[in-house]
């Protein structure tokens, strides 16, 4: 199941970057929970994830990820290492920083995401090292 979980997260990232809402929501468990340190908020359920995308788009233009890496962490977990890239909405200030998400999956669907501002911290939380 581990390779399938990595592929599910990879597909979700592709759908997120492509702004393909229907495909993205289809890869999520209806009980999804996503904790975002940027918005200082936990988003719950599919409606919550739609709100998350709206919140991102309200603060960042041209938002996407780069340098994507996906690591199987066992026990239905995947560590997603990435760089966010975009511009502040209105200000136009460039944004670029490395982050990570520790994803928990259920039946191949994203169930719980925990954003980490430090990639090493995310790896440690998953019991992995670089």
Average pLDDT, the chain: 95
Tallying the residues shown for the chain, one arrives at 130
Per mean pLDDT, which range of 26-30, 36-40, 53-57, 73-77 is the poorest? 36-40
Residues 6 or more apart whose Cβ sits within 8 Å of residue 44:
31, 32, 33, 34
Question: H or E stretch including 46?
Answer: helix 45-59
The string of pLDDT tens digits covering residues 41-70 is 999 999 999 999 999 999 999 999 999 999
The larger pLDDT score, comparing residue 38 to residue 9, is at 9
The string of pLDDT tens digits covering residues 107-123 is 999 999 999 999 999 99
What are the residue boundaries of the structural domains of the chain, listed by start? Answer: 2-125
Residue 106 in 3-state DSSP? strand
Average pLDDT over residues 16-33: 97
Q: What is the CATH number assigned to the segment(s) 2-125?
A: 3.10.450.50
Assess whether pLDDT exceeds 80 at residue 129.
no
Residues 6 or more apart whose Cβ sits within 8 Å of residue 26:
none
- For residue 37, the model assigns a pLDDT of 87
Assess whether pLDDT exceeds 90 at residue 130.
no
- Whether the predicted model's global pTM rises above the 0.75 cut: yes
CA distance 128 to 83: 19
């Amino acid at each position: 199941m581990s390779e399938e979980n990595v592929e599910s997260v990879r597909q979700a990232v592709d759908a997120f970057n492509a702004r393909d809402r229907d495909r993205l929501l289809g890869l999520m468990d209806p009980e999804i929970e996503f904790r975002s340190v940027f918005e200082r908020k936990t988003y719950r359920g599919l409606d919550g994830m739609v709100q998350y995308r709206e919140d991102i788009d309200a603060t960042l233009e041209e938002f996407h990820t780069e340098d994507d890496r996906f690591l199987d962490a066992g026990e239905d977990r995947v560590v997603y290492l990435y760089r966010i890239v975009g511009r502040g909405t209105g200000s136009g200030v460039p944004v670029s920083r490395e982050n990570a998400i520790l994803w928990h999956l259920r039946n191949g669907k994203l169930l719980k995401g925990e954003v980490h501002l430090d990639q090493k911290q995310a790896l440690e939380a998953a019991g992995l090292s670089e």
